[in-house]
Amino acid sequence: MDWFDNIVKTFFDFEAMIVVLPQLLGTGLVNTLIISIAATVIGVVLGMIVAVMGISTSRWLRIPARIYTDIFRGLPAILTILLIGQGFARFSQSLFGPSPYPLGILALSLIASAYIGEIFRAGIQSVDRGQLEACRALGMSYGKAMRLVVVPQGIRRVLPALVNQFIAIVKDSSLVYFLGLLVSERELFRVGQDAAVLTGNLSPLVMAGLFYLMITIPLTHLVNYFDNRFRTGRRKATPPKSGLDEVDELQPQTPVALTYGSNT
């Protein structure tokens, strides 16, 4: 059973996990959530702009949106992060100092906006065109009809896909470590990797993976819940009533007093 003991010591050394736990909680988890949430918020804003440009009737707006989407969806995430993080390092130093933290968020935001833009575009185009025509018949402008009627319905339909994209951003946030973050800016993967290098044990990385699972698995089930809720609606299915019950309700009820009177 030496092989089993080696596996346990390599991947499930609880002492090594407990030692790195405070750093994973206090530094890694916080920075992972900051990077992921900030990249998602910026990506949603940029993605909506890309989606509106993508469905525009003007080719001067539609073609740049298509090129933007193809580039940032086609490039590997790590390549985009390195190009943004290293290419704009000097410019970033004048604004944010030597930390590459903001550039990592910017790179993830650009990647996320390309995917989120396609999600929004698909959701908006899935809305029945008759609703837009009805709004125009009521005297609403195209922009007002899109803003008040079409776009809100499209966003509601793609909420599960947006949560899925947030899960992808949480996992891609581990790639920011290639930019060389400061000690206080390390995310989950970097904290686990540093501890694994110092101890010569992979248990800290396993612990970091457990933290990723604690974030992504509940969100995955939340996506399934929203998806089922939007598909089935809010009403719960009830069994059909028997037609005999409805017939009984239509028949006049015999007064109780007359019933007793007839027996006497």
- Whether the pLDDT of residue 24 is over 50: the answer is yes
Give the residue from 7, 8, 33 showing the smallest Cα distance to 176.
33
Give the residue from 49, 44, 46, 43 showing the smallest Cα distance to 62.
49
Higher pLDDT, 136 or 39: 39
Distances (CA, A) of 78 to 105, 111, 130, 180: 13, 10, 43, 13
Which tokens go with 37?
């949430």
pLDDT attached to residue 245: 53
pLDDT, one tens digit per residue, over 212-249 is 999 999 988 887 777 777 666 555 555 555 545 555 55
- Whether the pLDDT of residue 170 is over 90: the answer is yes
- Whether the pLDDT of residue 47 is over 80: the answer is yes
User: Is 192 within 8 Å of 20 (Cβ atoms)?
Assistant: yes
pLDDT, one tens digit per residue, over 93-141 is 777 777 888 899 999 999 999 999 999 998 888 888 787 788 878 788 7
Instruction: Give me the mean pLDDT over the 180-194 stretch.
Output: 87
pLDDT attached to residue 56: 83
- Whether the pLDDT of residue 72 is over 90: the answer is yes
User: Is 43 within 8 Å of 105 (Cβ atoms)?
Assistant: no
Residue 84 confidence class, pLDDT cut points 50, 70, 90: very high
Distances (CA, A) of 159 to 115, 162, 234: 13, 5, 16
Residues, the chain: 264
